[in-house]
Chain A
Amino acid sequence: MTELINRIISGLSTAGPFMRLFIIIAIMAVSAAIVLAIALLYEGFATYAERKVAGDIQARIGPNRVGPYGLLQFVADGVKLLLKEDIIPFYADKWLFIAAPYIVFTASFAAFVPLSYSDHISVANLNVGVLYIIAISSVVSMAVLMGAWGSNNKWSLFGGMRAVAQIVSYEIPIVLSLLAALIIPASLNMKDIIAYQSGGLGIFRWLLFNNPFTLLAFFVYFIAAIAEVNRTPFDIPEAESEIVAGYHTEYTGMRFAFFFMAEYGDMFIVSALATTLFLGGWQIPFIGGIAMPLWLREVLQAGVFFTKIFFLIYIMMWIRWTLPRLRVDQLMELCWKYLTPIAFFNLIGASVWVLLLHDRGVYDIIAGLFVH
């Protein structure tokens, strides 16, 4: 595998311009296809997991007919959605109506690109990785508005307006709490941030434990992130008891599925950001210092990364099936009167901590006591 990549790179420097363009586009297409396959497989199993978790919490069995333990339920769902009639409302703005699901899904999928899955596995190691994810996620709100307007339906429009108001509001506590963690490794590069959290048995140097402010910032981030991906208790954009299904009321079949998959993709992205920034990313806990072959290390690291993400997604599902939905005014009150001031306080506190203690976290200070 490494030899193949080396041969491609050496071929790149000798090939002609159009061959180079072809090779570059081929590399892009192959890596995009791999990430898309991972994303779609995850999204399929996430819908299954959601129903199983819901079943457990409501003392039901959940899907158990298709395949062993109902594991292939998502395949059946996919076939069903593909075969459904594709309805475009007569008075809809057809261009916007058709374009919106594609842009939502593309933006959600594009956020998978800068993630660092293990020490050597990442599609693009961007210098501005964290900022890129925040920026590309803001395209989602624009596309939701596009679909909501294009449907020419009052429920859709209300849902779209609510979604945008919610996403724009909750972006502030999210970015501020991310910033409270980011000033410690002083980098926007995913790999650098994870490398900073190495050592301390792979656990104690997590930015989560770096200082009290980052600990608080993690919880502010996680609450705001649940609102950012429009999940219960913050799912007022698609509150079925008030506005049918919100911005995707008029969508059927695969077009609806694109919105649905984008929601699950966003769950993965916010959990991956939380894992990278606060929970040490792919650092293997306890046995990370033991010598082991490269492939085993990479597999273990990717396994640790995905385990942390799936744990956070499980918590999101748990919250969804436990708590009731907030009202619109309560939602805005939570964001502007509680989360934003706490996030500002965190940012100032973390900055003062970094300035006074010169980048040393709680673990470094305690470890320093025993060394000297």
Chain B
Amino acid sequence: MDSLTVQAIFFYIFAALIIGSALLVVLLRNIVRSAFALFFTLFGVAGIYILLGADFVGVTQVLIYIGGVLILIVFGVMLTHNVYSVDIFNKLGTLVMGTVSAIITFTIIYYSIKPVSWLYIGYKADLPTTGPIGTQLMTNYLLPFELASVLLVLAMVGAAYLIRSEVRESRHKGAADQRSKIQSTVEGKGN
């Protein structure tokens, strides 16, 4: 049980990091600081994954949530107007709604975790997890995996289409403007 105690100490360190920074995300007045506080929450979750021996999931958590999602969130926050004067945290309605949704989320997670009979498989961080995950994705879970990739392709096509139509319009517009300008100068010279 000794290794469990060491693991428990690390678990409490990561749990304190997660809860503390999550409280900062909710309570900070400045929304950009909230977004950056989310960094420590996501990093703590990655730490918990690695503590459980799920090294692949932990590293993927850092790669996708910090390298991708968090940067998108920060970009989104920076592009909002009046970043320094957001006072959405003071409205009572948000507090009530937030409490209700927090209780609902907690209930769902609690009752989905409780009936599972968890067994402790010991500290197995040395075993590679990448191979089994890959095999499972390519055999038992092929359909969900392929569906997820189809979803991503659709999102990419949509993004490309949105940008492309704008470019096409502006290019047509720009070309037309230039043509009329040239025509007017030519006519001006002719006169």
Interface residues in chain A, defined as those with a beta carbon under 8 Å from any beta carbon in chain B: 16-17, 20-21, 24, 93, 95-96, 99, 126-128, 131-132, 134-136, 138-139, 141-142, 145-146, 149, 157, 164, 168, 171, 188-189
Contacts and interface: CB of A to CB of B under 8 A. Distances in A.
Interface string B107-140: 0000000000000000000111110000000000
B2 A17 contact: yes
Contacts of A127: 55-56, 126-130
Contact of B67 (A17, A126, A132, A141): A141
Main secondary structure of the interface of A (DSSP, over half): helix
Nearest to B5: A17
Nearest to A14: B2
Contacts, number: 76
B183 to A, nearest CB: 29
A146 B36 contact: yes
Contacts of A188: 130
Interface stretch (B70-78, B146-154, B165-173): B70-78
Nearest to A149: B32
Main secondary structure of the interface of B (DSSP, over half): helix
Given A17-B5, A142-B67, A142-B74, 9 more contacts: A20-B3, A21-B6, A127-B129, A138-B66, A141-B71, A145-B71, A157-B78, A164-B75, A171-B67
A135 B67 contact: yes
A157 B79 CA distance: 12
A298 B125 CA distance: 27
B158 to A, nearest CB: 17
A115 to B, nearest CB: 15
A135 B66 CA distance: 8
A132 B56 CA distance: 9
A138 B56 contact: no
Contacts of B30: 93
B62 A135 contact: yes
9 contacts: A20-B5, A20-B6, A96-B32, A99-B36, A136-B62, A138-B66, A139-B66, A142-B67, A149-B74
Contacts of B66: 135, 138-139, 142
B33 A17 contact: no
B52 interface: no
